[in-house]
Chain A
Amino acid sequence: MTEFITNGFQLFTTVICTTLSIIRGARLKSRAYVLLALFSGIFFLGDTYWLLFYLFYSETPNPSFISDLSWHSSYLFLILLLINAKGRPKGAKHSPLLFLAPVFTLAMGIYFMQYGEYLSNLVIALLMALLIWHSLDGLFLTRGEKRADTPRPLYIMTLVFCFIEYTLWVASCIWDGETFANPYYWIDLLLSCTFLFFIPAVGKVALSASDRISEVSL
């Protein structure tokens, strides 16, 4: 029951984020909102598939290629959103601190491999490393920036999202139980809430002229 409540809430927040992003993306012709819609939309689809399978067959899908693929792809779209927002100036150097991102995600990946599949954890470590790398890089590049269309809120939100994801995964390894006494479910609810905060964060990026989709010819 707890699983259904938390998953249901996640479906609700992701569908809100997707719908608002589609509407704003179409109205502003904003590539950033389209990418946000894809990020939250595929997360929503992955959750729906997982939940429906559980509902119909009272077990989780095995092999779970489809739901894994959808969640991994949602991270991919978030990475694309960060790259799209960044616009790195020529000659700008990477801070050495950025190399801590792959070291951290790899270490966490090795820890999670005790509980899950090798390949899946390796892919997650790679995607998370890219997410943290691009967020931190963006934050360093825009340090002290006061522009109205600054993408800083997006970088901060992405780092918050990654932090909560890792807390959630660690919680799933430590605590057991299917009631709200298990902190895992509270962290899952917190993760669901982050989708709502991505909408205003992307709003800043959408103000930029370079974000416009220039041609739609179908």
Chain B
Amino acid sequence: MTYIENVYICLAAPLLIALIATKQRDRRMVGFLLSGMTVCLLSSYISTFLARVNGISMLMASLTVSPIVEEITKLLPVFFYLVVFEPDHKRIPGSVVFTAVGFATFENVCFMTQNGTEQLFRLLIRGFGTGAMHVVCASLVSLGMLHLLDNLWLRVAGTFGLIAVAITYHGIYNLLVSQVGPAAYVGYVIPIITAAAYIVLLRLVKDDLKTA
């Protein structure tokens, strides 16, 4: 049996020290990294609870329930930051990305404790795949939240819709990577391609704005 709380404590301790030792921007980033790992632990508890309540296996829970729980909990630290500290818009994308990276890191640690560390290629592609998937999903929500709509209540509705986009995207990813063979690799590659396309699209839009 793996005591994931103990793993969490072991990983979080150096980050807690870094939180005390750093200031301003660095502290904020370490804080979001730590909160990403914390909500990952929290979401695993909630998913397990919901699986028991619905009477489904952990595999089915990871395909039907976990994406919803994970995408919502992942945004909690950012929402807290937005509501309590009312930060400048420029600071939000960084906070979203670091929370997602913290989440993906802890999820990968959980994966390794359960599945071992023998297959380097699989771990390599999974590391990039999971990282890209969490960053893409979180960035999608923050992008819409900040730029898509002007009116407050339209922004709330739009944010809800974008969370649903992220949840479905995450669900498809989990479905594919739960398979064995080519389907799993397709699953791991999709977020990497999405992230690359997103970066290219952003650069095109920025270049276009500069020339305009």
Contact = CB atoms under 8 A, between A and B. Distances in A.
B204 A26 contact: yes
B171 A66 contact: yes
Contacts of A41: 165
A152 interface: no
Interface string B94-108: 000000000000000
Contact of B68 (A26, A38, A61, A69): A69
B89 A66 contact: no
A139 to B, nearest CB: 21
User: Mostly helix, strand, loop or mixed at chain A's interface?
Assistant: helix
A163 interface: no
A64 interface: yes
Nearest to A66: B171
B54 interface: yes
Given A66-B167, A69-B167, A218-B93, A53 B206 contact: no
Contacts of B158: 77, 80
Interface stretch (A8-16, A42-50, A109-117): A42-50
Interface stretch (A94-102, A143-151, A200-208, A209-217): A209-217
Given A69-B164, A73-B161, A80-B149, A63 B54 contact: yes
B143 A53 contact: no
B161 A80 contact: yes
A217 B90 contact: yes
Given A48-B172, A62-B64, A69-B68, A26 B205 contact: yes
A83 B154 contact: yes
Interface residues of B, number: 39
A38 B179 contact: no
A72 B168 CA distance: 12
Q: Give the interface size class of chain A.
A: 35 or more
Contacts, number: 97
B160 interface: yes
Decide if the interface of chain B is mainly helix, strand, loop or mixed: helix
Contact of A73 (B143, B160, B202): B160
B71 to A, nearest CB: 10
Given A80-B158, A218-B202, A34 B65 contact: no
B64 to A, nearest CB: 5
B167 A70 contact: yes
A189 interface: no
B31 interface: no
B82 interface: no
A134 interface: no
Given A31-B148, A63-B65, A42 B172 contact: no
A45 B64 contact: no
Nearest to A73: B164
Given A42-B168, A65-B68, 18 more contacts: A26-B204, A31-B148, A34-B148, A45-B165, A46-B168, A52-B176, A56-B179, A63-B65, A65-B65, A70-B167, A73-B160, A73-B161, A73-B165, A76-B161, A77-B161, A80-B157, A84-B149, A217-B90
Q: A-B pairs with the 9 shortest C-beta distances?
A: A73-B164, A45-B168, A70-B168, A66-B171, A73-B161, A76-B161, A69-B164, A52-B175, A42-B165
24 contacts: A22-B201, A26-B204, A31-B148, A34-B148, A38-B161, A38-B165, A42-B168, A45-B172, A49-B168, A56-B175, A61-B63, A62-B64, A65-B64, A65-B65, A65-B68, A69-B164, A76-B157, A80-B149, A80-B154, A80-B157, A80-B158, A216-B205, A217-B147, A218-B202
